[in-house]
Amino acid sequence: MSTELEQKIETALADLLDPNTGKSLHDSGFVHSVTDTAAGPELKIRFAYPLDESALADWRTRIETALAGDPALAAASISLDWKVNAHKVQGELKPLDSIRNIIVIASGKGGVGKSTTAVNLAVALQQQGARVGMLDADIYGPSLPRMLGLSGKPEVTGEKQFVPKMASGIPVMSMGFLIDEQTPMIWRGPMVTSALQQLLNDTNWSDNGEPLDYLIVDMPPGTGDIQLTLSQKIPVAAAIIVTTPQDIALLDARKGLEMFRKVNVQVLGVIENMSIHICASCGHEEAIFGSGGGEKMAQATGLPLMGQLPLDLRIRELSDIGACVVRDEPESAVAAAYTRAALRAVGELSQQPRNRSTGLPEFIVQS
């Protein structure tokens, strides 16, 4: 492997910034290998988060154009793919064998659209090709069954594990599958935290032996028993804070953020929901809940603002019938906003320290 060739390629690609990491391909760690062969240079790019075929094709075009400026690189053979790594979790915990990364979607208060955001982020990642699951951690008020159009009790395997319900290829587990929708959960804290651990650990998340790339956990609002149990006993790769622009939501979101920081859970960034309302009749845009709140919070906390999602009637209408805008209206501007936020989140996660407890890193020998 030629150091000179590596330097040439690094220079040629220096201006190609990945919008999901904010860094060059080299600085993002995505230049997997550079090989000098008799037929010419061979370059392998491996992204550490999922990208669909269209996105990879776009990257190929951008890379070919960048290399074309150097005659020695113009005929380079380019290979592109992606692989999701397991990332470091809090404390002495280790990632589960069946799940590479657990990402929690949290907020300081209810009513900010956290569950809707969690569903659409999960579907967006699945559409990019990732293996994604969802866990409803809101034991008192589970909403994923209704939002995903799922019902009935889960089957149990011979190993006494729950078989998750499937929502268009996404395995889902929720307390809502185990109780009647109208039945209130009148449980004290220890029972609730025990139920959460069982839902996670006693579910067969992967029936083909391949671990999930991401388990998206829809958290209840607040900073109580569920959040404490999650931070102490469940290996979390990262959290995402969802807020709306108004001051009271931002205040509570900041409390949620500080809670995760105190228990050493990595927070990837902030998503501002219900940012702008667009009138369906005239197209007028209005910041009903205020403007700039999520951006100010991101700046004050040093976190990236991963997305500003609109207040749109179709999001609510689809959620009420067990559908979601990313899956059912994939060409819409709203779906594109969710997809950008999802890729921004996992792009940020890809830059966090990797988990090293599951074995040695990949070792490559080249000539």
- The overall longest dimension of the chain from CA atoms, in Å, is 71
Tell me if 296 sits within 8 A of 266, measured CB to CB.
no
Structure tokens at 255: 């409390």
Residue 44: the pLDDT is 96
Contact by Cβ (8 Å): 306, 240: yes
pLDDT of residue 117: 94
pLDDT bracket for residue 358 (50, 70, 90) = low
pLDDT at 133: 98
What pLDDT digit, counting tens, does each position of 318-335 carry? 988 999 999 999 999 899
Q: Give the CATH number of the domain where residue 22 resides.
A: 3.30.300.130
Residue 92 in domain: no
Is residue 183 located within the same domain as residue 325? Answer: yes
Whole-number pLDDT of residue 150: 94
Q: How far is CA 330 from CA 56, 64, 213, 240, 344, in A?
A: 18, 29, 22, 23, 18
My answer on whether 62 and 108 are in the same domain is no
Q: Is 293 part of a structural domain of the chain?
A: yes
Q: Are residues 238 and 316 in the same domain?
A: yes
**Domain end point (choices 48, 82, 116):** 82
Question: What letter would DSSP give residue 203?
Answer: B
pLDDT tier, 90 (very low <50, low <70, confident <90, very high otherwise): very high
Segment 123-127 shows an average pLDDT of: 97
Verify that 315 and 175 share a domain, yes or no.
yes
Q: Same structural domain for residues 63 and 159?
A: no
CA distances to 16, 113, 134, 208 from 30, rounded to whole Å, are 12, 34, 27, 28
Q: Which residues of 267-294 are buried (b: 16+ CB within 10 A; e: fewer)?
A: bbbbbbbbbbbeeeeeeeeeeebebebb
Structural domains of the chain, count: 2
pLDDT tens figures, 103-113: 999 987 778 88
Residue 356 lies in a domain: no
Residue with the bigger pLDDT between 275 and 283: it is: 275
Q: Which of 70-84, 85-99, 208-222, 352-366 has the lowest mean pLDDT?
A: 352-366
Residues 144, 218 share a domain: yes
d(CA 151, CA 143) in angstroms, rounded, equals 11
Q: Are residues 22 and 118 in the same domain?
A: no
Per-residue pLDDT at 363: 44
Distance CA(150)–CA(155), nearest Å, equals 14
Q: Give the pLDDT of residue 75.
A: 87
pLDDT at 341: 96
Same domain, residue pair 280 and 236: yes
pLDDT above 90 for 289? no
**Token pair in block for residue 267:** 């927070």
Q: What is the rounded CA–CA span in Å between residue 177 and residue 196? A: 13
Same domain, 294 and 242: yes
Residue 88 within any structural domain of the chain: no
Residue 48: predicted pLDDT? 97
Residues 122 and 46 in one domain: no
Q: Work out the average pLDDT over 260-276.
A: 89
Q: Does 175 fall in a domain?
A: yes
Highest mean pLDDT among 71-85, 253-267, 279-293: 71-85
Could you say which of 47, 82, 117 is where a domain stops?
Answer: 82
Same structural domain for residues 70 and 106? no
What is the mean pLDDT of the segment spanning 282-305?
Answer: 78
Q: pLDDT class for 56, splitting at 50, 70, 90?
A: very high
pLDDT at 215 over 90: yes
The 10 Å Cβ neighbour count of residue 182 is: 5
CB 144 within 8 A of CB 293: no
Q: What span, in angstroms and rounded, lies between the C-alpha atoms of 37 and 261?
A: 48
3-state class (DSSP) for residue 32 = strand
Q: Is 238 helix (H, G, I), strand (E, B) or coil?
A: strand
111-125, 219-233, 292-306, 344-358, range with greatest mean pLDDT: 111-125
Q: Evaluate whether residue 93 is within a structural domain.
A: no
Parent domain of 233: 99-350
Q: How confident is the model at residue 1 (pLDDT cuts 50, 70, 90)?
A: very low
> What is the CATH classification number for the domain harbouring 305?
3.40.50.300
360 domain residue, yes or no: no
Residue 364 lies in a domain: no
183 pLDDT exceeds 60?
A: yes
Sign of CA dihedral 249, 255, 260, 264: positive
Q: Give the whole-angstrom CA distance, residue 294 versus residue 243.
A: 7
DSSP state of 30: -
For the chain, give the mean pLDDT.
88
Q: Are residues 77 and 208 in the same domain?
A: no
